[in-house]
Amino acid sequence: MRVLTVGGGGREHAAVEAFHRSGAEIYAVMKNANPGIIKRSKGYKLTDEKNVQAVCEYAKECNIELAFVGPEAPLEVGLVDALEAIGIKCASPTKAAARIETSKTFMRELLKKHRIKGNLGFASFDNAKDTEAYIKTLKYDIVVKPVGLTGGKGVKVQGEHLHSHDDIMRYVHEIFDNNIGGAGVIIEEKAVGEEFTQMVFCDGTNIRPMPLVQDHKRAYEGDVGPNTGGMGSYSDADHLLPFVTGSERIEGHKIIQRIVNALRKDGCVYRGPMFGQFMLTTEGPKLIEINARFGDPEAMNVLPILRTSFTDVCLAMAAGTLKFDVEFEKKATVCKYVVPEGYGVKSKAGLPISVDEAGVKNSGAVAYFANVDIVDDKLVTGTSRSVGVVGIADGIEWAEGNCERALNYVKGDAIFVRHDIGKRELVQKRVDHMNKIRGGKK
Q: Which of 383, 240, 388, 417 is nearest to 303 (CA)?
A: 388
Does 120 engage in binding with ligand AMP (CB under 6 A)? Answer: yes
Q: What is the DSSP string of 346-370?
A: ----S-BEEE-HHHHHHTTEEEEE-
> Binding mask 167-206 vs ligand AMP (x if CB under 6 A, - otherwise)?
---------------------x-xx---x-----------
DSSP H or E run through 69: strand 66-69
Binding-site string for ligand GLY from residue 274 to residue 303, where x marks contact by CB under 6 A and - marks none? -----------------x---xx-x-----
Q: Taking CB under 6 A as the rule, does residue 230 contact ligand GLY?
A: yes
236 versus 298: smaller Cβ distance to ligand GLY = 298
Sheet holding 284-291, edge to edge: 207-209, 194-203, 271-281, 284-291
Q: Give the angle 282-286-292 at the CA atoms, nearest 5°.
A: 155
What are 66's strand-pairing partners?
3, 89
Please, what is the minimum distance in Å from the beta carbon of residue 177 to ligand GLY? 25
Q: Which is nearer to ligand AMP, 194 or 203 (CB)?
A: 194
When asked if residue 152 is in the footprint of ligand GLY (CB under 6 A), the reply is yes
Residue 19 backbone phi and psi in degrees, to 5: -65, -40
389 phi, psi to nearest 5 deg:
-110, 125
Contacts of 286 (CB under 8 A, 6+ apart): 118, 119, 120, 191, 193, 278, 279
Residue selected from 109, 251, 289, 356 as contacting ligand AMP according to rule CB under 6 A: 289
Q: Give which of ligand AMP, ligand GLY, none residue 298 binds (C-beta under 5 to 8 Å, depending on kind).
A: ligand GLY
Task: Choose, by CB under 6 A, the member of 215, 236, 248, 420 that binds ligand GLY.
Answer: 215
Q: Which is nearer to ligand AMP, 49 or 195 (CB)?
A: 195
**378 bridge partner residues:** 375
By CB under 6 A, how many residues form the interface with ligand GLY? Answer: 7
Q: CA-to-CA distance for 33 and 377, rounded, in angstroms?
A: 11
Task: Write the single-letter amino acid at 305.
Answer: I
437 binds ligand AMP (CB under 6 A): no
**Of 338-357, which residues contact ligand AMP (CB under 6 A)?**
none
> How far is it, in rounded angstroms, from Cα 200 to Cα 206?
10
Interface residue list for ligand GLY (CB under 6 A): 152, 215, 230, 291, 295-296, 298
Interface residue list for ligand AMP (CB under 6 A): 120, 143, 152, 155, 157, 188, 190-191, 195, 217, 227, 277, 279, 288-289
